[in-house]
Each structure stands twice: as structure tokens, then as C-alpha cells.
Amino acid sequence: MNNNTAADKPLRDLKWGVERRMEFIEFRLFWEGKINRIDLIDHFGVSTPQASADFNLYQELAPGNLLYDTRAKHYFPSEKFQARFLKPDSECYLANLHAMSSGIVTAQESWLSHVPPYDVLPSLRRTIHPELLQAILDAIRKKQALRIRYQSMQSPDPVLRWITPRALAHDGFRWHIRAFCHRSLMYKDYLFPRVIKVEAVKQDDQNQPPDHEWEQIIMVQLGPHPDLTETQKRAVELDFGMKDGKLEARVRVGFLYYFLNRWGLDPHQTVRKAKYQQIILLNSEEILQYYQRPRESVFEE
């Protein structure tokens, strides 16, 4: 005799569309505290009977999670609500708000219905033409070399360069093309908006050396400034999710400059006063081993 209940059913047995609607139900229950059939109908375009079936299925798969209020005609989370389909993630929720503010996601595409008052500092967008991105993606996929017209800040006029794109990189503010430069015979980062034009394309049959700076990972260790009070240190630890007064970040060697610059850290300089710099490098000597190459020799700006 099989005593298994629907709640024991493996989630992998659900169809993708059904699983998405189960996740949606839990998203609304957790973040907004209620949901009804109209929410499913409006967001997924399902019929009223299908929406009812979805709620029945959810109650079978996650028994005890829902309470239905006949007067409000909404489902509410019970006191013992435990998400089964969705792992609540604050970063994901806030990323939704950020995406809506920048127009990447519309209100209709978002799972949010009751959006809290919020605002986001306007970002200064760098223009990346889709045709250029398409050419770079093709070159990476097909192992092609591109002759590009590039406006470097080291030259008053645009220059021509043969490059072999290998990867895309984002420094927290802007996108770069990680590519092998056929002129300098080294890997460099090229800013997308400064690629004026792709002049030519060819198959790259050369055997370039490995991009060690891209492939090698270093652990950057960060901690609170030693001059902070104990309560201030604790606040910094909470702010950055540190454990035992330390945070380790996995960073590609080729990303070290970007990472340290973003947080106002320089292994060559003495630590600034605590009121100007709340976090410090804990392994500066190790970082210096990978931070000695002059910036100008790596970046095509």
C-alpha cells in the first residue's frame, strides 16, 4: 500500500509552468502577505479553473501554508508558513525594484504588485549598440579576431586594433571586452562604448597564451578598520556579512584593480583614518604580488 501524499511528490515532477506558478504563489505570500486567483490569472494568463486548480495543488504540496479568508477573498500565509518552492531572497526582491527603476523590467513583468515607495539614483548609462554586442558574442563563440576602431584615452584619435575577444567583464559600473591584443601580445580590457566600429572579421588560428589573470582567482580578505570602536566594528561586520571579523571575496586577478578601486582600497597606500575608510585589506602583502603591473599596460582606455 502506497501511503505517500501529494506533499511527498518530488518537485522535479512538476511541469515548468506549474512550478513557476507555485513559486509565484509563495512569492506573493511571503513578500506581500496575500494572493488570490485574479493575481494568477492576470500574471500568467491562465483560466479561472486553472487558477483554482493551482491553489488546490499548492495546498496539497504545501499543506498548512495557506489560509483562505472568505470575506476578503484572498489567501493568506498561515503562522507556520514555510516556503517550499521559493527561497526568499532580499537581494532578489531589491534587484526587482532596481530593474523596474531602470526600465529593464516592467511592472507587468515583475512579480511585485504592491510596490513600496522607493527611488534609485539615476545611473549614467553607457551606450552599447546591440550590433556590437552581437559581433563580440559571435567572435567569442566562433573564436574569431576582430579589427576594431577604438578610441583610447591614450591617443587623441581613434586607433585600429586586431583583438580576439575571450570574455565579457563588468567592473560594477560598466561592461568591458576581455580580449587578446594582437599588437601588444597581451590580454586587455576594452570598454564597449569606445569601440567605434568593427572594421573586419577573420578566423583566429593563432595559439594565444592562456589568460592567467582571468583564470587565476585570489581571495581578498577584508575586515573592519582597527580604529573603530567594538560596536562600530560589529556594525561593519553586519553590513558586509562578515564572520569572525573577516570577509573573503573571490576575485579574478584581472579584476583586482576594479574591485579595490570600487571600495577605495589601495595596497600601495597606508590605511586612511577610520572615518574615511571603514574596511581595510587584511592580506595587503599577498595582494601586492598580483597588483604590481602598471594599470596603463593592461587597460585600453
Q: 43-82: per-residue pLDDT in tens?
A: 999 999 999 999 999 999 999 999 999 999 999 999 999 9
Return the C-alpha cell found at 71: 470575506
Q: What is the pTM of this model?
A: 0.77
Structure-model confidence comparison of residues 4 and 20, the more confident one = 20
Topology of the domain comprising 10-88:
Arc Repressor Mutant, subunit A (1.10.10)
| 19: pLDDT strictly greater than 60 | yes
- 144-161, pLDDT tens digit by residue? 999 999 998 888 899 999
For the chain, domain boundaries = 10-88, 130-207, 216-294
The per-residue pLDDT for 11 is 61
Share of the chain above pLDDT 90, in %: 71
The per-residue pLDDT for 153 is 85
Question: Quick one: average pLDDT of 257-280?
Answer: 88
- Sheet strands side by side (includes 195-203): 195-203, 144-150, 159-170, 175-181, 186-191, 299-300
Kindly report which listed range (35-39, 69-73, 124-128) carries the lowest average pLDDT score: 124-128
Contacts 24+ apart (CB under 8 A), 175-179: 175/126, 175/128, 177/136, 178/211, 178/214, 178/254
